[in-house]
Structure 1
């Protein structure tokens, strides 16, 4: 659990938090370009930075900073926390205007059947993302997952039959070069991390496409989609946790489950995973699509620098070049897509 994603509706560069975000970003909803105070915009951007960085670092600490290497269970628990928050805020929204953006909770089996394919993609996206964090350094995390742009272009053509402009393809090539160089130069290279990262990237791209196809089933309400997606994800993921052997291993060998501090950390990570939805909602509401793009790229740069400072991740020259290329290509792709949207 975020990513965006980082957005789900916008093309991939804005989707960086998607694997950790429990809500598709409403970035495609048209809204007036109101003039908001600079202090408010700065606060919204700062909130987004804090939440999105916290999601990644908290999950990394949980995945590798303890003996609790159970990515599927961590993902499932974070979804449970998100659902509890949804139920609380939906209830508060009945009487408090502050929470009125979240509609009352609902779960209709007929609608759930239509949302189910999206949820399967969603579960795989979240699980693979946490597995990727378990095996790679945070400095390399952005590179391992950078191919979402490439998969977005591929799936958009294969599933939706839409072609991509030449500048966007150039950005795609730059990202791939960054991925290749970053992987080759990674000091603590992990094939498992690479495979999980590429898999997560593929499902992030698929998720963005399936969201667009599924929104009509929930009256184009992204919060209502969140109700169904989170509920179904908890139901679908639990058998995987059970049959993977993680649950039995946790009870048999893990000391962390007896540590209150660990559960507090797990719960906070779930809160942050949910809060990224609010952060993205506010950023879309009070800033622009270009600001989202810039913030996504800037956040990735800050994330890499902080990873070096906090985790002391070693970086080779080729690895650094790969990271820079992946970030540049992602930023350029976001800029190209922004220009294309503005020209329509």
Structure 2
């Protein structure tokens, strides 16, 4: 059986765009899927508990049948490490997930994405409070620009909810504390884990914690009929998509730079805002648009810095000029194509691969949005006429 390293090596023939777009796709679909289910039936704690229970079973199966979780053997897991690090971090992870799903009951997907842009601010505050980092003035000013943009977006929100705002703020700060705790309790001792191995250890304790939360908050009004209202296959698919997001994260590691990931994260957020407008007719005010634009620019600068942005810009510009001039794109090291080796033809070029993958994922994404719009009755009349009305 192939090791994880060998499996990743065999996948290197695929363009990095495949992994990036897969991550964007599963991340976006998970968010839209959760919003769709929670808007119709509610019970966010129970849904989160179901996701984590599914992840617990799936990681146990993968650990025994594949090499995807072989990285766990490099983790020196003892009873002391488990109760001193895994349990508290798992509790924080559970709290973050519960808050992040609760917010779907109060705020639109678009506004949630805008609020998430303030995550670097939470990480900065928490890391400074725990003495992990001592940020420079330049970083602080950068984050203040992001906060200013998010504040403007919040001020322009029409359907603002303080409950939803505090839930989202809680989710962001719980996640920030979790990341800092990982840095203090695990990374400092050399216990580095990829997303799937982390889920292998965290999912069981998170399932137990979410079950307790669900028992207190939702079991009193929950009925078995609610499961059948949503559909067993729908819930199974929802949990599978959420789990595949973690799998896609594993294969994405090392495939691209931090700058590209920052830009892809911004692209994903913009796609989700557009999807929210199309599916749920979310209204975006001019001041929201302006504020979120400021926050996104601040995020890109925070993740890449001026030098990184200019390097990416110049590289892209040079590559585009070579494509337009009809010459093959040259790799600076190999001298024979962007990916090395012999000059690439049109169908073999990484640009063509990227365009094809973007077109494929965009088509699937639009079909998904169209299906949800028709199902929820928010589709334009011409779509209803073409596809017919779908009864709930």
- State TM-score, norm by structure 1: 0.78
Residue 338 of structure 1 and its aligned partner are, at CA, apart by 9.1
Residue 288 of structure 1 and its aligned partner are, at CA, apart by 1.7
Residue 239 of structure 1 and its aligned partner are, at CA, apart by 1.3
Q: Is the 8 A contact 2:145 2:298 kept in 1?
A: yes
Q: Is the 8 A contact 2:95 2:171 kept in 1?
A: yes
Unaligned runs of 5+ in 2: 1-10, 312-392
Distance 1:208 1:161 in 2: 11
1:154 paired residue among 125, 148, 151: 125
Distance 1:122 1:101 in 2: 23
Question: Residues 118 and 325 (structure 1 numbering): CA distance in 2 closer, same or farther, change over 3 Å?
Answer: same
Distance 2:116 2:22 in 1: 23
- State TM-score, norm by structure 2: 0.69
1:47 paired residue among 16, 22, 28: 22
Matched residues, number: 296
Question: Residues 164 and 107 (structure 1 numbering): CA distance in 2 closer, same or farther, change over 3 Å?
Answer: closer
Distance 2:232 2:288 in 1: 35
1:113-262 equivalences under 5 Å are 113-114=83-84, 115-215=86-186, 219-222=191-194, 223-244=196-217, 246-251=218-223, 255-259=225-229, 262=231
C-alpha deviations, 1:285-342, integer Å up to 9, x for none? 3212222111111111121122212221111111222222222222221113996xx9
Question: Residues 258 and 36 (structure 1 numbering): CA distance in 2 closer, same or farther, change over 3 Å?
Answer: closer
Distance 1:258 1:306 in 2: 27
Q: Is the 8 A contact 2:127 2:133 kept in 1?
A: yes
Secondary structure of the residue aligned to 2:236 is helix
More displaced, 194-203 or 164-173?
Answer: 164-173
More displaced, 183-192 or 212-221?
Answer: 212-221
Secondary structure of the residue aligned to 1:249 is coil
C-alpha deviations, 1:256-309, integer Å up to 9, x for none? 3223x5332222222222222222222223212222111111111121122212
CA RMSD of aligned residues (A): 2.7
Unaligned runs of 5+ in 1: 1-34
Distance 2:91 2:264 in 1: 29
Tell me, yes or no, if structure 1 residue 63 matches structure 2 residue 38: yes
Q: Is the 8 A contact 1:145 1:201 kept in 2?
A: yes
Question: Residues 209 and 100 (structure 1 numbering): CA distance in 2 closer, same or farther, change over 3 Å?
Answer: closer
Distance 2:304 2:56 in 1: 34
Distance 1:337 1:151 in 2: 23
* Corresponding residue number in structure 2 for 1:88: 61
* Corresponding residue number in structure 1 for 2:47: 74
> Greater Rg, structure 1 or structure 2?
2
Q: Is the 8 A contact 1:106 1:227 kept in 2?
A: no
Question: Residues 335 and 106 (structure 1 numbering): CA distance in 2 closer, same or farther, change over 3 Å?
Answer: closer
Residue 225 of structure 1 and its aligned partner are, at CA, apart by 3.4
